[in-house]
Structure 1
């Protein structure tokens, strides 16, 4: 999804995604620079120690659109789960929901353009949803004829 956001933003719903991405990157860079973080392991450990009890809007207002805090809060919630299979089930369910939503919000023209280049995962999800009849783009609610099978 991050790849799509950065490389093919036209495929995602119009909104605040790029602003959130930039603010989150900027906040992460400041966070790591202030603490002189040099490795991924240090970054992971430090983000795991973020106090998720106090909301960032209380500390810095609502100007930033970063989701770094929400990511830390989600990670803390997932780490608190006792059963790893339940955790991965939740992660998988969220990703499927995000993929389905993003795929259905993209215009058919943009999907067609991506198919010329081999297609993105989002486009393949969109096609699968259309094939299974779970896409709003292809639903026919009224006026469709019914086929009657006649056996002779």
Structure 2
């Protein structure tokens, strides 16, 4: 995993975020994306994972470099918003997985922060019905 220190330069981050149409392009978003690649590698060691992955995200064995080159040359497919979370997710099944898993980590963090802050909403169950991380069963 490589993360450039330039990723913290606000001008560079904003320029790339806008040019690549990646509204969640932040240092924490990048870390979550890269961690998701590592999670894929670990899960791919399971006998039942790859078939399910391929059914959901596509065949990761397609040429990765060619897929990225095509993505940066031609851009995302016209219907990318209907099929992917980000333009980058449309580049290759590995990137679709990493973008999806990173967004799941974003959402989990938001929900955890909401519950830990004891916030409430009439549209949501009461915080007392939400398991806090310390209450979760260990795996």
TM-score in terms of structure 2 length:
0.31
TM-score in terms of structure 1 length:
0.29
Q: Indicate the structure whose relative CO is greater, using CA pairs within 8 Å and at least 6 residues apart.
A: 1
